[in-house]
Structure 1
């Protein structure tokens, strides 16, 4: 895989450390994004634990992944098209409203102790639909907030914000779970979505605030938009290779192991809902947070397709070792390494795609990338969760990491 196109895409990068944080708007976006991501993961910690304890079903854990990510597969491009045609701030606020609805729904069933499996499945689907209305419009908004020069920094810092939320969420979720119980804890969680909703009311970003000639608006056409966007990018090798890399990682592995973490914790001898379980969830996020701090602070690893692929190969190796080890301390170390490597290659791939995307199709191209990098995670619920119910989650995760490694090695071998 040649790096020549990437050098063109990433021309004239900023040399400032944490460049995007020099923009006041990005600082506000960063803080509110962290809080919303933290709330998302608090809900995961509490709901996954209750569901695991009540149903003891690896298959339901697999469904949690399918339902969370299938909306990204089906609607990411549509979400991008909506953010092109309408105000992306309002699309994000609709997503936050669905998150709050899901948390309140969990709270009701926990209080009344009436949760059934089908009700859990419905709430998991609502949560997944909320995410697809959030992520693609949010990534579009980054361009308006910081501009093209600081976009790589904003993408990496936004990925770090996601990991910060993922890291803090399990810790806060564990404390809330122990202090308030699942019912009142998950209802309290709705408060953390509100700062993003309130900031977006008057945030001066989006189509109304852009200078220059307005981008022509196109109708939202659903599946036809996916086909047309694929045609539009097929001659852009950087976009194609990064979508293929992100898609393979998501299809085989994704984050399916997070919903299976109670099972991993139990097998490692630490299956309680307190610190030990939360530390396993937080180790991956802590690695991602360190990656963001180190890479942004030192301005390391300029975006290049070959670098992204090599980092993905190392990520696969770290996950395979985590899956097969029987020692809790080793599991923590390699989950930490996996988090570091995942942020590094995913943020780099996303930056390359955003920088190379045509301005008049940015939302749809970002949506296509999200369809691969997030939507294909729905199938990782099958490869890790459902197959894990047959051969064990340790072997299913290890084999999924190996399959991703094969694809990444193939991309690396391309001219």
Structure 2
């Protein structure tokens, strides 16, 4: 059931209103609760990572934290999509939120009792990673029930903006909570930030019960076999294939690995206190992404098409090469700002194109396959940028990774000549 007040389908590419998805009451509720949950996700990272570092000071455990966050997306995204196809996506999201809350409660218990052991931390980090898989894939599927297809690009872009808002605000709120309540009680307070999404979904009028038309045929959930079957199902759709490959390649070669190397970049740029410089570099990337979400929603620029997404990705690579080569701190800030703007632009466009063109009966699986590429492949970006950076330096590793990715995207532009499909 869509609660969009406009019941008639648009037959001409008339200008759509700014922030179109926000005009839907259900989406406004989704956006606010999603943003709170994303903020809580990042608050938990800030507090748990700090406490784990203080107790164990283990680089290996820090590496496990990154792997446990992204590897579940690689292994289970398609399975999570299959579950969302077969069952109510609202309940899948709620299970994810309950796992997030369990992780925060577990951290709180071990912090208060001072009984945290390394294996406890590894279990809690894994629970957190699995929660993210269930949440993200089902949330993307639920958007199709909340907004009309013509407003889906707006909803996807706004959700991406909410993610960056959580990344930007979460660490600040987490730091404030640690200063005022301390990490032990602060992580328990964090549980409450997940509750609004759980409660709203309890009665939200979306999901299979509220859909119009004949019910889709429910396919059995077959675990890893669904990955191969979904690949076969979309093999003939060049648009979905090209956008999924773009998402997977950008995550594999670069992903968010350069953000983990920001302390090194800040130190090499030699601008004032490395801690402050580091924070400003991260903020520039996130601020660029937020501006992209606001500007693109408000102006209606950059109509979605596969070619536009690929060109924007090439420009993103160019900005990162410039950042890696820059010896000027102000120029580095500016290039990261541009990179954040371009990343949100092409990633939200890519996701919207996949969601709009996915067959309805397997939409969850297709979204899961896209998430497997876009998020799961980030587990390997630590090798292309991080480990290679240990051998040749992070500046060279980032620049070379971006140049290789640019070449791959150029191949996609040549290989997938898809007629621009505006959405």
CA distance in 1, matches of 2:411, 2:121: 39
Map 1:326-341 onto structure 2 (within 5 A).
Answer: 327-341=328-342
Moved more, 307-316 or 205-214: 307-316
2:310 counterpart residue number: 309
2:224 counterpart residue number: 223
Change (3 A) 1:326 1:123: farther
Map 1:27-66 onto structure 2 (within 5 A).
Answer: 27-52=28-53, 59-66=60-67
Change (3 A) 1:98 1:292: same
1:132 counterpart residue number: 133
CA distance in 1, matches of 2:192, 2:238: 43
1:212 counterpart residue number: 213
1:190 aligns with 2:191: yes
**TM-score, length of structure 1 as denominator length:** 0.89
2:252 counterpart residue number: 251
- Asked if the contact 1:250–1:373 (Cα under 8 Å) also holds between the matched residues in 2, the reply is yes
1:71 aligns with 2:72: yes
2:374 counterpart residue number: 373
1:320 counterpart residue number: 321
1:172 counterpart residue number: 173
Whichever of the two has the greater Rg, that structure is: 2
Change (3 A) 1:327 1:243: same
CA distance in 2, matches of 1:353, 1:233: 10
Gapped regions of structure 2 (runs ≥ 5): 1-10, 418-423
Give the match's secondary structure for 1:149: helix
Change (3 A) 1:31 1:332: same
- Asked if the contact 1:316–1:404 (Cα under 8 Å) also holds between the matched residues in 2, the reply is yes
- Asked if the contact 1:170–1:282 (Cα under 8 Å) also holds between the matched residues in 2, the reply is no
Gapped regions of structure 1 (runs ≥ 5): 1-9
State the shift of 1:207 in Å: 0.3
Equivalences, count: 404
State the shift of 1:101 in Å: 1.9
CA distance in 2, matches of 1:408, 1:160: 24
- Asked if the contact 1:284–1:336 (Cα under 8 Å) also holds between the matched residues in 2, the reply is yes
1:285 aligns with 2:289: no
Change (3 A) 1:394 1:205: same
CA distance in 2, matches of 1:159, 1:234: 27
Map 1:343-358 onto structure 2 (within 5 A).
Answer: 343-358=344-359
- Asked if the contact 1:13–1:150 (Cα under 8 Å) also holds between the matched residues in 2, the reply is no
State the shift of 1:280 in Å: 3.5
1:406 aligns with 2:407: yes
CA RMSD, 1 decimal? 2.5
1:3 counterpart residue number: none
CA distance in 1, matches of 2:278, 2:288: 17
CA distance in 2, matches of 1:266, 1:121: 30
Per-residue CA distance 1:331-355 (angstroms, 9 max, x = gap) = 4333222211111000100111111
Change (3 A) 1:124 1:201: same
- Asked if the contact 1:65–1:377 (Cα under 8 Å) also holds between the matched residues in 2, the reply is no
- Asked if the contact 1:148–1:355 (Cα under 8 Å) also holds between the matched residues in 2, the reply is yes
CA distance in 2, matches of 1:263, 1:110: 30
Moved more, 334-343 or 361-370: 334-343
